[in-house]
């Protein structure tokens, strides 16, 4: 990757990707995170909801491993960000498939993905406070 400025980066995951490649770990940060979540939900399985969440996390973990095995793919970063968003949706209790249908105009109108991410993950500090 030949970058002249930070503005040449197109995907947020590119920042952590290089760090991941340079580290001694042989698993991506996303795969490791999903493994920890999967283990945590396995310990807490007391009802059907935890069982369903555990199964979904196992599928996402498999998807992460498959994606990491193909990191030379031309759309790797786009797929990685989509997978990260799926994980966030799962943790937040958002139906990812319904979200996509709504975004594509097949459901009720909702806030855009950009607005949602801005509201959920960006802290706006008031400088006058």
What does the domain layout of the chain look like in residue ranges?
26-75
User: DSSP class of residue 95?
Assistant: -
* pLDDT of res. 44: 63
Under the banding of pLDDT at 50, 70 and 90, the label for residue 108 is low
Is residue 70 very low, low, confident or very high in pLDDT (cuts 50, 70, 90)? confident
Question: The tokens of 107 are what?
Answer: 């459901």
Q: Which residues of 10-20 are buried (b: 16+ CB within 10 A; e: fewer)?
A: eeebbeebeeb
Amino acid 122: pLDDT: 65
Q: Which residue has the higher pLDDT, 16 or 123?
A: 123
For Cα atoms 95, 65, 79, give the angle at the middle one, nearest 5 degrees: 55
| pLDDT over 90 percentage in the chain | 0
What is the residue-averaged pLDDT of the chain?
68
Q: What is the pLDDT of residue 9?
A: 46
Contact 59, 86 (CB under 8 A): no
Within 10 A of 113 (CB to CB), how many other CB atoms are there?
13
pLDDT bracket for residue 42 (50, 70, 90)? low
């Amino acid at each position: 990757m030949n970058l002249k400025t930070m503005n040449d980066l197109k995907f947020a995951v590119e920042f952590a990707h290089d760090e991941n490649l340079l580290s001694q770990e042989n698993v991506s940060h996303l795969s490791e995170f999903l493994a920890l979540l999967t283990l945590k939900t396995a310990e807490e399985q007391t009802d059907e909801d935890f069982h369903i969440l555990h199964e979904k996390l196992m599928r996402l973990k498999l998807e992460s491993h498959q994606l990491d095995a193909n990191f030379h793919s031309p759309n790797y970063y786009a797929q990685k960000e989509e997978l990260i968003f799926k994980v966030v949706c799962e943790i937040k209790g958002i139906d990812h498939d319904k979200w996509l249908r709504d975004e594509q105009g097949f459901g009720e109108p909702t806030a855009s993905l950009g607005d949602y991410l801005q509201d959920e993950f960006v802290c706006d500090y008031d400088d006058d406070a």
